[in-house]
Chain A
Amino acid sequence: MTKTTDVTPKKKGWRWGTNRWIVLGLIILGLFLLTDFFGAGLNIKPIRPFVQLPAEHWSEHPLFSTSFLGIGDFYLTNTLVALFIVMVLVIGLAFWFNRAVQNAFKKNDLALKGIPGALEALLEGLFNMTQATAGKWAWTIFPWFAAITLTVLLANWMELIPGVDSIGVIEEAHGTGYAVQPLTAGIATIAMPEVAEHGSHLIPYVRVVSTDLNFTVALAIIAVVAVQVIGVQAQGIGYFTKFWNVKTFFSKPIFGVIDWGVGLLELVSEFSKILSFAFRLFGNIFAGSVLLFVMGSLLGSIVIMPSIFYMLEFFVGAIQALVFGLLTMTFMAQATQGHGEHEEAH
């Protein structure tokens, strides 16, 4: 063997891949933390979650109190914090995207790279859906679709971030709680065992904004009102004949009355849209975060199991964001088309 003839094969990393070893290491770490692991582990038992419907307050005292419209005490809640984070993320993304597009224009390059490129691919897909459904009103409807989908998507995926819902202030529970175990100065944890009296529970700093009904109801109201606005834009004041249909009231003996009744039902269905919009998103994501907690506490010892539910929640979050946006878009597209009078609408 001489140096000139010996062709050494190109070095190819570790033969068995790297990701699987990372996963295995994390599983072992989980086993070490959550079980006694042949006597060596820390054997921390995951606690059961404290489920509360309204958002928790950050502070003891309200930010301000007003009697205006019966608002009362206004606290800074952990879902509001999450909303601000989402806002910052969306605005940051928008800024980044805008800058990337302007840079691309300057270089006369029509392809984006990295995260703006991914965002552009997503939005283009959404836009194609809008165009297929709404036709010439696509560019009027699309900003709503994009804004709602992006906001809800980022809000939903926040529940997958470690620390959201699990880092916060320890408060004394009213009912059963858990014992407090101080870790270091100023930092403590609550852990098993359960104590019936004078236990504590966690008030997280950040709670996913979709688990706050205020957020989902606000989005639903905005969506439904925007649908009406776009309907009026498209059809003028004639849009409201959809709800108060007396055109055929006298010309057709029985069916006219039925049409009028259908119009009233449409009005009711607009309100039920708010309800279903709001509770669909809220129910899915609230149930999702509770599911993650419960599965973590029940199956935490089988370390790999909760990660499957993380995947499920990732999927559910994306689907719910898409469904919220898609339904808004479809209702808007329907509103632009007349109620059985397509010639007038276009």
Chain B
Amino acid sequence: MEGNIVMAAKLIGAGLAMIGAIGAGAGIGIVTSGAVQAMGRNPDATGTIQTNMILGIAFAEAVAIYCLVVALLILFVVG
């Protein structure tokens, strides 16, 4: 019974850790929206915009990845 409570807490903790992905999701959405608008306004600059967009997405995604790392640590490493 005790073990099950610890397990449940771990699962809940991992789930809570992934809340941080909200920010990354919103960030990626904003980056892509801006990039798509820019591409619509200036199709000639698509290549540069795409590269920078991917970079921006990668940085925004990094936050979500830290969340994922924490969740994985909680699930598999802690305890």
A touches B (Cβ under 8 A): yes
Which residues of A have CB within 8 Å of B48?
Answer: 132
- Contact among A128, A280, A326 with B65 in the assembled complex (CB-CB below 8 Å): A280
Complexed CA–CA distance, A319 and B65 (Å):
16
Residues of B near A267 (CB, < 8 A) are none
A276 near B: Cβ within 8 Å? yes
Distance in angstroms from A326 CB to nearest chain B CB is 6
The contact of B54 among A128, A283, A287, A323, by CB within 8 Å, is A323
Q: Are B47 and A323 in contact (CB under 8 A)?
A: no
- Whether A280 pairs with B62 at a CB distance below 8 angstroms is yes
Which of B9-17, B35-43, B68-76 makes up part of the contact surface? B68-76
Q: Assess the A326–B69 pair: CB atoms within 8 A.
A: no
B contact residues around A272 at 8 Å (CB): 62
A330: Cβ under 8 A from any B Cβ: yes
Verify B54–A322 contact, CB threshold 8 A: yes
Given the complex, which residues of B lie within 8 Å of A322, measured CB to CB?
54
Interface residues of B (CB under 8 A from A): 47-48, 51, 54-55, 57-58, 61-62, 65-66, 68-69, 72, 76
Give the complex CA separation of A279 and B61 in angstroms.
10
* Interface membership of A161, Cβ < 8 A: no
| B54 close to A53 (CB less than 8 A) | no
**Of the candidates B47, B51, B57, B68, which one forms a contact with A283 in the assembled complex, judged by CB atoms under 8 Å apart?**
B68
Q: Which residues of the partner chain A approach B51 to less than 8 Å between Cβ atoms?
A: 129, 132-133, 326, 330
- A interface residue numbers (CB < 8 A to B): 53, 128-129, 132-133, 272, 275-276, 279-280, 283, 287, 319, 322-323, 326-327, 330
B8 CB to nearest chain A CB (Å): 16
Query: What is the CB-to-nearest-CB distance from A240 to chain B, in angstroms, rounded to a whole number?
Result: 24
Shortest distance between the CB of B4 and any CB in chain A (Å): 13
Q: Which residues of A contact B66 (CB under 8 A)?
A: 275-276, 279
Which residues of the partner chain A approach B54 to less than 8 Å between Cβ atoms?
319, 322-323, 326
Give Cα A257 to B11, complex, Å: 44
Select from chain B the residue with minimum beta-carbon distance to A129: B51
Tell me the bound Cα distance from A87 to B78 in angstroms: 34
Q: How far is the CA of A132 from the CA of B58 in the complex (A)?
A: 19
Residues on B with C-beta less than 8 A from A323 are 54, 57-58
18 CB < 8 A contacts A-B? A132-B48, A272-B62, A275-B65, A275-B66, A276-B58, A276-B62, A276-B65, A279-B66, A280-B61, A280-B62, A280-B65, A283-B69, A322-B54, A326-B54, A326-B55, A326-B58, A327-B55, A330-B51
Is B47 a contact of A327 with CB atoms below 8 Å? no
User: 13 extra interchain contacts, Cβ-Cβ under 8 A, other than A275-B65, A283-B69, A287-B68?
Assistant: A53-B72, A129-B51, A133-B51, A275-B66, A275-B69, A276-B66, A279-B69, A280-B58, A280-B65, A283-B65, A283-B68, A323-B58, A330-B51
Main secondary structure of the interface of B (DSSP, over half): helix
Given A129-B47, A276-B62, also A330-B55 (CB < 8 A): yes
Q: Which residues of A lie under 8 Å from residue B47 when comparing CB positions? A: 128-129, 132
Q: Inside 8 A of A327's CB, which chain B residues have their CB?
A: 55, 58
Please tell me if the beta carbons of B58 and A279 are within 8 angstroms of each other in the complex. Answer: no
Q: Which A residues are CB-close (under 8 A) to B58?
A: 276, 280, 323, 326-327
Instruction: For the complex formed, measure the closest distance between the CB of B13 and the CB atoms of chain A, giving whole angstroms.
Output: 16
A170 to chain B, nearest CB (A): 23
- Give the residue name and chain of the B residue nearest to A330 (CB): B55
Query: Which residues of B lie under 8 Å from residue A326 when comparing CB positions?
Result: 51, 54-55, 58
Give the 4 A-B CB pairs with smallest separation, nearest first. Answer: A276-B62, A283-B68, A279-B65, A53-B76
A330 to B66, CA, bound (A): 21
- CB neighbours of B61 from chain A (8 A): 280
A residues in contact with B62, CB < 8 Å:
272, 276, 280
Could you tell me the distance between the alpha carbons of A276 and B65 in the complex, rounded to whole angstroms?
A: 7
Alpha-carbon distance A276/B55, docked complex (angstroms): 13
The distance from the CB of A322 to the nearest CB of chain B, in whole angstroms, is 7
A279 proximity list for chain B (CB < 8 A) = 65-66, 68-69
